[in-house]
Homo-oligomer: A and B are copies of this chain.
Amino acid sequence: METITDIKGVYASGIASGIKKQGKDLAYIFVPDAIACAGVFTRNAFRGACLEHTRSCLEHGTVKAVIINSGNSNVATGEAGRANVVRTATKAARLLGVTAEQVAIASTGIIGVQLPIERLEAGLETLLDNPRKQEGTIAAEAIMTTDLTSKQTVRSATIAGQEIHIAGMAKGSGMVAPNMGTMLAYFAINAAIPQKLLQTMLAEACDCSFNMVSVDTDTSTSDMALLFATPEKEIDLSVSENYRAAQKLITEACIDLAKMIARDGEGAEKLLEVCVENAASLSDARRIALNIVGSPLVKTAVHGGDPNWGRVIMAVGKDPGVEVDPGQVDLFFGSQQVFKNGEPFGDAPRERVAKELKAEHVFIRVDLHLGSHTARAWGCDLSKRYVEINVDYN
């Protein structure tokens, strides 16, 4: 299994419709027999009109399909923007043989510019000419914006004697921060999980994955994760062992894509993984982990391989709202301890830290010795290329 359309009953593809100057920019995922679809959305006040539509669809029945365009986010576009969402959903519904309330809509790209709706509508005619294509990889390419690589994952587990598979795709490279930490992610799981439970499980998985990744601390107006459940396998989730196994599967798939997003952060050359252990609360653990991966000074030090671990200490303490006892903090770069009980540790750890920072995957661990809560966050280094990419996005 490689892609979302390897899940039985899941169809997807993508085309170039001319919304972007070049490249694929329009995709669909269609799950005609979906028995449930769960969604998690950005908390930015300027949510795109498509998110309001999609949220409403999820509340009123089972979503069967999603239409995704890249190149234009249809955000901050007012009444005309809302009308364009309705036109898109109506047209796609007719071509798919479902209702407009069964078609989720997602848009990603520049903010504040009206969608070229005629081109999008013409594109839908071509895209949905055959809506049962098994081209998940092409769909994963069509949802990219500044991403350098398409992002897909497949995870499998045997739960109650049955082979359960989850497959997903995501895009996200800049304007990536909680809540939530990606722009778009779509999954399908071949287990008949009912709507309410599916929603709880996706939300939990997002909290440990997309909500724990930061490229630039900026929260997109277009973030969306959807998870379709197909009727293929019945599993009894009232058995807690089954529930935990299914939750683990969904969470792992989300973490896979979250890490790919961090690694493909705009201009990034390294994946930065931060683990904060033994915090007084889960919220403290998460905030500190995110403060470290989000700190421009930590990110530039990681980029340059500069063993300036004091910047991590700064980031651990920078939020006055979290509980930290400086005299109890331990700090590690990889396996190298550099700080112990409020004092620098060892003789010349800077050289060994510099070596840890040369790796493509940099791992920083903080032990607060205050409680029992742990969180993990993912980010990337900050390079001149990030600035280049973003000084002239148009």
Main secondary structure of the interface of A (DSSP, over half): loop
> Contacts A78-B342, A313-B111, A314-B175: A301 and B390 contacting too (C-beta < 8 A)?
yes
- Contact between chains at B391 and A303 (CB < 8 Å): yes
Q: Does A179 make an interface contact (CB < 8 A)?
A: yes
The number of times this chain is found in the oligomer is 2
Partner of A218, one of B304, B315, B386: B315
- Contact between chains at A306 and B111 (CB < 8 Å): no
The distance in angstroms between the C-alpha atoms of A390 and B140, with both chains bound, is 35
The distance in angstroms between the C-alpha atoms of A46 and B76, with both chains bound, is 41
**Those of A75-115 within 8 Å (CB) of chain B:** 75-80, 110-114
- Contact between chains at A111 and B314 (CB < 8 Å): yes
Residue in B closest to A314 when the chains form the complex, CB atoms = B221
Q: Give, as a whole number of angstroms, the nearest-CB distance from A80 to chain B.
A: 8
The distance in angstroms between the C-alpha atoms of A218 and B83, with both chains bound, is 42
- Contact between chains at A111 and B304 (CB < 8 Å): no
Q: Does A161 make an interface contact (CB < 8 A)?
A: no
Residue in B closest to A341 when the chains form the complex, CB atoms = B78
- Contact between chains at B218 and A217 (CB < 8 Å): no
Residue in B closest to A322 when the chains form the complex, CB atoms = B45
Q: Give, as a whole number of angstroms, the nearest-CB distance from A177 to chain B.
A: 8
Q: Give, as a whole number of angstroms, the nearest-CB distance from A71 to chain B.
A: 13
- Contact between chains at B296 and A390 (CB < 8 Å): yes
Q: Give, as a whole number of angstroms, the nearest-CB distance from A70 to chain B.
A: 15
The distance in angstroms between the C-alpha atoms of A327 and B265, with both chains bound, is 31
- Contact between chains at B303 and A387 (CB < 8 Å): yes
> Contacts A111-B313, A112-B344, A221-B314: A384 and B394 contacting too (C-beta < 8 A)?
no
Which residues of A are interface residues toward B (Cβ below 8 A)? 43-47, 73, 75-80, 110-114, 174-175, 177, 179, 216-221, 294-297, 300-301, 303-304, 306-311, 313-318, 320, 322, 324-326, 338-339, 341-344, 382-384, 386-388, 390-394
Interface pairs (14), CB distance under 8 Å: A45-B317, A46-B313, A73-B310, A76-B343, A76-B344, A79-B343, A112-B308, A218-B314, A221-B314, A221-B317, A296-B386, A303-B387, A304-B390, A384-B384
